[in-house]
Amino acid sequence: MYKAAVIGDRDSILGFKALGIDVFDIRKVNPGELLADLAERHYAVVFVTEDILYRIEAELEKYSASPLPAIIPIPGNKGSMGLGMENIRKAAEKAIGADILFNDN
């Protein structure tokens, strides 16, 4: 059976535990190594707070062409950095060949 996990700072991720999602406080682990471990342990979905994504860019490239794990950016407790929407924009542009989403600029 596949599992779901969330990686981030304690304040941002603790609520996910109530939903039955495995939580990993970033203060206790290396995020890149943790992501590799979760992929090996067959986690299907890994939510990552946006501030952590910058720290694991190299690892994200390894999994970008793989169907699992799906790595989903989520805002931290300080708010969104816009990375989730940017990922959606890039995926839509790659699939369709043009940026069809409204640009905020």
Domain boundaries, the chain: 3-96
Q: If pLDDT is split at 50, 70 and 90, which confidence band does 16 have?
A: very high
Q: pLDDT tens digits for 81-98?
A: 666 666 666 666 666 666
Q: pLDDT tens digits for 19-66?
A: 999 999 998 889 989 999 999 999 999 999 988 887 888 888 888 888
Q: If pLDDT is split at 50, 70 and 90, which confidence band does 1 have?
A: confident
CATH 3.40.50.10580 fits domain 3-96 = yes
Q: What pLDDT does residue 58 have?
A: 81
**Cα–Cα distance, 105 to 70 (Å, whole number):** 29
Q: If pLDDT is split at 50, 70 and 90, which confidence band does 75 have?
A: confident
31-66: b (≥16 Cβ within 10 Å) or e: bbebbeebbeeebebbbbbbbbbeebeebbeebeee
